[in-house]
Structure 1
Amino acid sequence: MWEAAGVEGAETSSMKEPRYLRIARELAADIGARSWPLGERMPPEPELAARFGVSRETLRNALREVESWGLVSRRKGDGTRVRRLAPVERFDTSLNSLEELTQYGRDAVREVSATAEVTVDAELAAVTGFPVGAARVRLTTLRRAEDGAVVSWSQVYLAPEDAAVVSGELGRSTRLISDLLAERTGRATHRVDQQVRAVPMPAEPAGVLGLESGCPALEFVRRYFDVAGELFEVTVGVHPGGSFSYRTTLVRSGQ
């Protein structure tokens, strides 16, 4: 995670490690130790450069590295702000088929953190496509990397009878919920409609992910339909903007 290529012209130590990278590691350690609270500005560049006894350019290279780890954001006129206390593992995924979606589910471990019964209101209906007044069970789930760090937060909406069918499997299975439903009920997923958009990080997932509320995030809304065209599951997921990239392939029709 901490390896990085050198920058042309960077100052180096006797061990041939770029000085900017050593400084970046020290700054990351300070951030992890909460020397500066989440959302707060770090000291200005001249002050940090003087602290480490380096040029402004070397200091900027260090800050760029820390930014690439997802720890800070840097904006002209706003300085450098702390956005995360620990580096986040990056996920790069390509989902071009239901089979690849299934594999994604197996690669990231799911944890159900909360279950609640809800009635679909107008706002939720606009997001999910479920009718207003419908009863649904909402599962709040987390996905963890191999080291146990939380990398995404989701809320899954199911009909109460479907939630009851799979409830015993959710705590020990990494399979997609739609696959569990297919196995238990015979209802196979025929189509998944997916919408991805950039959003400010909501407060609830921000707390779980260790991020500042309002920081950049990606929201994924997946609507699962069976062969009869019935919408039976909706997942609304949030990923940190700096830790997840989504790739798709477009092919010109007729070729």
Structure 2
Amino acid sequence: MGEPRYVVIADDLMGRIAAGRWAVGELLPTEPELAVEYGVSRETLRRALRRVELGGLISRHKGIGTRVERTTPFTRFTTKLGSIEELTQYGEAAVRHVLTVEPVTVDAALSAVTGLAEGSQQVCVTSLRRDPERPEGAVSWAKVYLRPEDAKAIASDLGENTRLISDLVEARTDRAVERVVQRVRAVRMPAEAAAHLGVEPGSPGLEFVRRYYDALGTLFEVAVSTHAGDHFVHETILSRR
């Protein structure tokens, strides 16, 4: 299997910048223009631009455009992850099965875990991820907290599919994921999660809390996913680039 399309586009854009197609300080074509040129969706194009931006070659400014900042990437260590999906190592085949969608008021305990403001109103999407290659059980159990307006915008898209909820929000609103902060910790498996994952309550597990921020620094989504510790490995590769 080849590289994801957005990775190929990002590499091509970086190559064109390095070759002087656009000078430092010059604006790239608009997102719609680039999407047409590469024959991809705006979502795929934005992922490619984020990858180029992480290398330090461009900066993006609302109302101005995408500006070239340098012709060669920063030299630094970075996690070698092709997409936000890979942060949790599901693989693209893991299908989401929504269990419940319900409004919640963030209490002190939930605020401490998620970073959401205590007393704020959220919509909680509880779901399982199942891998077709592992029919005997679920990969993870998760609760995703969304702003009510974002939850309403993606309500028709929450059927069984493999896309991240953050991807759905990007596709249906003007939000774009600018930054994801992930925290991983060892936990005792909650009873509700254990029942769905087929393990004993209180058995070892891993909890991933991912906080999604948009370009304005607004925390608009928090995903709390739990994995059984005896059949889950989280691997990070560090490479110099």
With the shorter chain as reference, the TM-score category is 0.5 to 0.7
1:151 positional shift: 1.8
- SS of the residue corresponding to residue 159 of structure 2 reads coil
Equivalent position amino acid for 1:131 in 2: A
Q: Does residue 184 in structure 1 map to residue 168 in structure 2?
A: no
Aligned pair partner of 1:225 in 193, 210, 213: 213
Equivalent position amino acid for 1:114 in 2: T
Aligned pair partner of 1:109 in 85, 95, 102: 95
Find the counterpart in structure 1 of residue 83 from structure 2: 99
Aligned pair partner of 1:202 in 186, 190, 197: 190
Would the aligned equivalents of 1:156 and 1:235 in 2 still touch at CA under 8 Å? yes
Would the aligned equivalents of 1:143 and 1:150 in 2 still touch at CA under 8 Å? yes
Would the aligned equivalents of 2:80 and 2:238 in 1 still touch at CA under 8 Å? no
Would the aligned equivalents of 1:106 and 1:176 in 2 still touch at CA under 8 Å? no
Find the counterpart in structure 2 of residue 214 from structure 1: 202
Would the aligned equivalents of 2:98 and 2:160 in 1 still touch at CA under 8 Å? no
1:221 positional shift: 0.4
Which ranges of 4 or more aligned residues in structure 1 deviate by more than 3 Å?
Answer: 95-98, 102-105
Which residues of structure 2 form unaligned runs of 5+? 1-78
Equivalent position amino acid for 2:181 in 1: D
- SS of the residue corresponding to residue 230 of structure 2 reads coil
Q: Does residue 158 in structure 1 map to residue 142 in structure 2?
A: no
Find the counterpart in structure 2 of residue 35 from structure 1: none
Find the counterpart in structure 2 of residue 130 from structure 1: 116
Find the counterpart in structure 2 of residue 49 from structure 1: none
Find the counterpart in structure 1 of residue 5 from structure 2: none
Would the aligned equivalents of 2:129 and 2:140 in 1 still touch at CA under 8 Å? yes
Q: Deviations over 1:113-143 (max 9, x none)?
A: 1111110111111111111110000010100
In 2, the alpha carbon distance for the partners of 1:209 and 1:191 equals 29
Equivalent position amino acid for 2:145 in 1: Y
Cα RMSD for the two superposed structures: 2.0
Would the aligned equivalents of 2:126 and 2:143 in 1 still touch at CA under 8 Å? yes
Cα–Cα, structure 1 residues 115 and 127, in superposed 2: closer, same or farther, change >3 Å? same
Equivalent position amino acid for 2:212 in 1: Y
- SS of the residue corresponding to residue 168 of structure 1 reads helix
- SS of the residue corresponding to residue 242 of structure 1 reads helix
Tell me the TM-score normalized by structure 2: 0.62
Give the total of aligned pairs.
159
In 2, the alpha carbon distance for the partners of 1:105 and 1:188 equals 22
CA radius of gyration, larger in: 1
Tell me the TM-score normalized by structure 1: 0.58
1:99 positional shift: 1.8
Aligned pair partner of 1:234 in 193, 203, 222: 222
- SS of the residue corresponding to residue 141 of structure 1 reads strand
Which residues of structure 1 form unaligned runs of 5+? 1-94
Aligned pair partner of 2:232 in 220, 244, 248: 244
- SS of the residue corresponding to residue 248 of structure 1 reads coil
- SS of the residue corresponding to residue 156 of structure 2 reads coil
Q: Does residue 142 in structure 1 map to residue 151 in structure 2?
A: no
Equivalent position amino acid for 1:161 in 2: E
Would the aligned equivalents of 1:105 and 1:176 in 2 still touch at CA under 8 Å? no
In 2, the alpha carbon distance for the partners of 1:105 and 1:123 equals 31
Q: Deviations over 1:196-250 (max 9, x none)?
A: 0111000001111111100010000000001111000000000000111111133
